[in-house]
Amino acid sequence: MKALKISRKTGKFAVARLVSPLSAAGAAKFGPLSLVNEDAPALPVNDGWHRIIPRLTGICGSDLSLVEGHASTYFDDWVSFPFVPGHEVVADSDDGRRVVLEPVLGHAARGLSLPFDGAAPGDGDDYAHLVGGCLEPGIQTGFCHSTGGGWATELIAHESQLHVIPEAMTDEQAVLVEPAAGGIHAALATWPQVSAAIARGETPVVAVLGAGTMGLCAIAGLRRYVPQVRIIVGARYPHQQALAKSLGADVAVPANELLRAVRREVGCQVVGDHLTGGAHATIDAVGNSESIADCLRFTRPRGRVVLLGMPADVSLDLTGLWHRETAIVGAYTYGTEHLPDGSTKHTFDLAIDTAAECRLDRLVSATYRLDDYQDAIAHAAAAGRRGAVKIVFDLRDGRNKKETR
């Protein structure tokens, strides 16, 4: 099979880190990523494993940080090298189904007992299973040597990871299901603050900083699953602002105007560089020192900042967080969600509905062949600046395409 593979070569990561500020394509060319032809991963002996043939696979921010050598060393012990990236996958399974991949390699995939009946792969409060069972360590497909990843012409996946998608759903919609699930998970993480605001008779305000793929999916999730919420979005580029509005944002402004927009919305004051009040909750869909610091400035005391963007190393003055008793919570992947109406659902089920209903295929800006990975990486790294959102690899070759209508 043909695959893009990341090897554990410290020198290559260092080169990528040096080159990436100048050229993402250069980082792809000289860094740890390489295009190889090799045997497909072997199926484990456990039941329920399938070979799947990707149709489209997305390029995610976490993939880019790996290719560019910026990923946190935290993951060193949670992944297994070499591995094939790619976890936003729509594929054909070996039994003829068209599926999207829920990439978390959970208990079922590793042959371990579920933390509770009906648990999704991402559930559980002990991550020991991510480095155990029948697979090598790996938080997800796309970070695990045993399974391969979506940036290849073939990989393996467990039945617990596969979701059959409706016939009417296009591949372009389906490839957005995984990021949509992440966005919905972050959106629902605001519910404690939002529900408390509603109980007090206030209009809940959620700010979203960043409107790349994840920010936009969070906006869609907020609009669909978090009732009564006013959504204020800070997005760097005009096309992102327009998409944010079309997905349900009430207000979309340039990112550097978000603090003032939140103030206008909630009617509080400004002291120093912090709002005296602010949004009930904020979703940081950027994930760096500046964005987290900004979110702390315009989230109200005892509010919540949901980190959707992967932050890696950050440097922050946390005095404001201490003083305002702000909660910062991570929003990683998905699992079983407790919805405001009291029901529980798996995030991926919500995401499949969302991708279709919100026509998320409009976020797919360009497709590339695997052979053109350097151009694809460069495009993805400059997506906002180039008026794009999601860049994907098109691996369909001669297979029928279910294109965007």
Binding site for another protein (CB under 8 A): 253-254, 257, 260-261, 263-264, 267-270
CB of 239 to another protein, least distance (A): 16
Q: Which is nearer to another protein, 19 or 261 (CB)?
A: 261
Answer for the pair 177, 28: CB distance below 8 angstroms, yes or no.
Answer: no
Separation of first and last alpha carbons in the chain: 31
CB of 260 to another protein, least distance (A): 6
CB of 241 to another protein, least distance (A): 10
DSSP 22-57: T-HHHHHHHSSEEEEE-PPPPPPSSTTEEEEEEEEE
Q: Which is nearer to another protein, 236 or 362 (CB)?
A: 236
Distance in angstroms (rounded) separating the CA atoms of residues 62 and 275: 31
CB of 232 to another protein, least distance (A): 11
Distance in angstroms (rounded) separating the CA atoms of residues 171 and 174: 5
Going by C-beta distance under 8 Å and a sequence separation of 6 or more, which residues neighbour residue 174?
A: 55, 56, 90, 98, 100, 165, 355
Q: Which amino acid is at 301?
A: P
The beta-strand segments (E) located in 170-292 are: 205-209, 230-235, 251-254, 270-271, 274-275, 279-284
Instruction: Compute how many other C-beta atoms are within 10 angstroms of the C-beta atom of residue 287.
Output: 21
Q: Which is nearer to another protein, 225 or 237 (CB)?
A: 237
Answer for the pair 215, 248: CB distance below 8 angstroms, yes or no.
Answer: no
CB of 251 to another protein, least distance (A): 8
Q: Which is nearer to another protein, 3 or 255 (CB)?
A: 255
φ, ψ of residue 24 in degrees (nearest 5): -65, -35
Q: Which is nearer to another protein, 241 or 367 (CB)?
A: 241
φ, ψ of residue 404 in degrees (nearest 5): -60, 130
CB of 263 to another protein, least distance (A): 7
CB of 98 to another protein, least distance (A): 43
Q: Is the dihedral of CA 286, 172, 94, 395 positive or negative?
A: negative
Q: Which is nearer to another protein, 114 or 268 (CB)?
A: 268
Q: Which is nearer to another protein, 87 or 274 (CB)?
A: 274
Token pair of 289 as six digits: 């020192």
Q: Which is nearer to another protein, 253 or 392 (CB)?
A: 253
Diameter of the chain by CA atoms?
A: 62
CB of 365 to another protein, least distance (A): 24
Going by C-beta distance under 8 Å and a sequence separation of 6 or more, which residues neighbour residue 288?
A: 309, 311, 312, 314
Q: Which is nearer to another protein, 297 or 402 (CB)?
A: 297
CB of 208 to another protein, least distance (A): 17
Going by C-beta distance under 8 Å and a sequence separation of 6 or more, which residues neighbour residue 354?
A: 180, 184, 217, 220, 221, 224, 360
